[in-house]
Amino acid sequence: MVNDSLFLVELNALVRRSIRACFPDTYWVQAELSDVRVNSSGHCYLEFVQKDAGGNSLVAKARGIVWANTFFRLKPYFERETGQAFVSGIKVLVKVTVDFHELYGYSLTVTDIDPTYTLGDMARRRREILDRLQREGVLTLNKELELPELLQRIAVISSPTAAGYDDFCNQLSHNAFGFVFYPCLFPAVMQGDKVEQSVISALDRIYGELERWDAVVIIRGGGATSDLSGFDTYNLAANCAQFPLPVITGIGHERDDTVIDMVAHTRVKTPTAAAEFLVNHLRQTAERLEDFACYIRQEVPSRLSHEKERLDNWQARIPSKVQMRLQKEGFAQERLSERLRVALRVRLQTEKHRLELWSRQIEAASPDRLLKRGYSLTLKNGKAVTDASRLHPGDEVETRLAKGTFRSIVKK
């Protein structure tokens, strides 16, 4: 029996040869990364895993190796293309050779990677998160918030050591217009698997003193694009979307927006751009104010001068009005006096005619004319005597002739 037996190393060597014979090519494999470690020589050791449909239990697992000379090239390429660190938990499409080693056993050696697969997976995950937020009716809540006109008190979530935070503060404090800003740092981890929890806790601290802030700015250093996966989580996105202050993100990447960018009120690319956005917002506020100021400065005096003109105008019109009025009165007067004149003349004429008539009649009736024709007038006691029976002998009468009078005694 012992003679028929193999030493382990011999058996393992057989397995190795068989595997090599059976799997001579390279293979593209879809799997999830787990337990990713890089040793001091730069070799990367990891586990490839596959979970069941529910994502709860493993259905397959294999050791994987990326040799330093490959890893040195693949890692930056992958991270640049995906904006995603080469870390546990992500799904990858890798080209592998299938190996078996007498001592280390079964393993897959990675020779290439296809970042588009990971991008696709990330995009799918983002889409799922966004769909869920949409279903819950919170997706656009933050976008619907109105930026306060006077947006100055800014709660900044950033890593305190990040160059991006300094850039942001410099840009704000040296703005060309002299606007005042009050930025305040709420430190958070902005990289790796602590991002979600750390940023949420910073948001919670801001939430605790909401009335002190106008907006939240989440910024992340300007360095190399690496791990953004922390910004692609449901919890963080849900927190941001429902945050009662407008959230502005400047997470510093060019590629796809992370979920947090998509739910934020405003998304810019870099911390500097975030500062520019805030300065620009205040500039609009200032412009509106200056428009008002300018309008009032011009309009009030112009309104006053317009009023003065009106007044002057009236004043100028008063004399001519008066003159017109006087003239009118004058005409009326003239007309009236003319009428008066005419009426008087007519009246006088009439009177004159009448007087003449009368005087002629009177003249005709006058005793003088009779006296001249030889008649005489006899008066007794100053009264004309027209009846001789009224006279008695001895009465003294006066007889008036055309010229002179004489007295006589009645005889009979």
Partner 1 sequence: MAAKKETYTYTEAMKRLEAIVAKIEGNELDIDELGEKLKEAQKLIKFCRDKLYKTDLEIQKMLGEEENG
Q: Tell me which residues touch partner 1 (CB under 8 A).
A: 148-150, 152-153, 178-180, 182, 184, 212, 282, 285-286, 288-289, 292-293, 295-296, 299-300, 303-304, 307
- Helices 234-241 and 115-135: angle between axes, nearest 10 degrees: 40
Beta-sheet strand order (sheet of 377-380) = 383-384, 377-380, 396-400, 405-409
Whichever of 150 and 355 has its CB closer to partner 1, that residue is 150
CB of 206 or CB of 228, closer to partner 1:
206
Phi first, then psi: what are they for 381, rounded to 5°? Answer: 50, 40
- Cβ nearer to partner 1, comparing 291 with 334: 291
Identity of the residue numbered 92: V
Is the CB of residue 205 less than 8 Å from the CB of residue 240?
A: no
Burial of 332 (0-12, 13-18, 19+ CB in 10 A): exposed
| Contact present, 50 and 58 (Cβ < 8 Å) | yes
| Torsions phi, psi for 52 (to 5 deg) | -75, 175
CB of 300 to partner 1, least distance (A): 5
Closest CA to 111 of 74, 57, 160, 151: 74
Report the residue number, 184 or 324, with the smaller CB distance to partner 1. 184
Residue number with CB closer to partner 1 (161 or 366): 161
End-to-end CA distance of the chain: 231
| Least distance CB 178 / partner 1 (angstroms) | 5
Helix (H) / strand (E) element for 47: namely strand 44-51
Minimum CB distance to partner 1, residue 268 (Å): 22
Cβ 183 to partner 1 shortest distance, Å = 9
Q: 183 or 271: whose CB is closer to partner 1?
A: 183
Distance (Å, rounded) from C-alpha 358 to C-alpha 8? 182
Instruction: Decide whether 264 or 282 has the Cβ nearer to partner 1.
Output: 282
State the minimum distance, in angstroms, from the CB of residue 295 to partner 1: 6
What is the spatial distance between Cα 66 and Cα 78, in angstroms, rounded to a whole number?
13
3-state secondary structure of 18: helix
Q: How far is the CB of 239 from partner 1 (least distance, A)?
A: 22
10 Å Cβ neighbour count for 253?
17
Element spanning 329, H or E: helix 271-365
Cα-Cα-Cα-Cα dihedral sign, residues 67, 71, 73, 77: positive
**Identity of the residue, 301 or 367, whose beta carbon is nearer to partner 1 in the bound complex:** 301
User: Residue 274 Cβ, how far from partner 1 at the closest point, in Å?
Assistant: 19
Return the number of the residue (212 or 325) whose C-beta is nearest partner 1: 212
83 or 246: CB nearest partner 1:
246
What contacts 96, CB < 8 A, 6 or more positions away? 26, 27, 29, 64, 108, 109, 110, 111
- CB of residue 140 vs partner 1: minimum separation in angstroms? 23
Q: Which two tokens stand for residue 318?
A: 């008063």
Tell me the closest approach of the beta carbon of residue 180 to partner 1, in angstroms.
Answer: 5
Shortest separation between residue 156's beta carbon and partner 1, angstroms? 12
Contact 396, 409 (CB under 8 A): yes
- Asked if 147 and 265 count as a contact pair (C-beta separation under 8 A), the reply is yes
